[in-house]
Amino acid sequence: MKTTFALSTKGWVAVLLVAFALGAFAFSTGQFLAAMVAFCTAGIAAFDSTHIYLRRYKTWLSYGPIGLFVVCALFWPFAIIWYFVVRVRIARGTMPLRHDFKPTPNAT
């Protein structure tokens, strides 16, 4: 098991652009706590999405971890709430799989 979290150059660029956008929002409005909460919860959702294999399910949040991070950070209250709704549906087993991941019957 890898002990380090590897992130591509495109991933780092996306994270830095989101940090810059949230920083600009914080400086212009004075709401530093909201920007920090949006950044941190988006990071938690992105990290968690790799463990529940979110890309297998039919939802508009079926991105990779970096795409999910960007969406959750920029559309913070709505995307995070929807992410946790989807996560509960996955845990219950009621979230439908995407067509790419449906099991195919065995040929005999």
H or E element: which one contains 82? Answer: helix 76-92
In the three-class reduction of DSSP (H, G, I as helix; E, B as strand; rest coil), residue 7 is classed as: coil
Residue 34 CB contacts under 8 Å (≥ 6 apart), including other chains:
25, 26, 76
Higher pLDDT, 37 or 53: 37
Residues facing residue 57 across a β-bridge: 97
pLDDT band at residue 3, thresholds of 50, 70 and 90?
low
pLDDT (tens digit per residue) in 11-32: 889 999 999 999 999 999 999 9
Q: Is the pTM of this model over 0.75?
A: yes
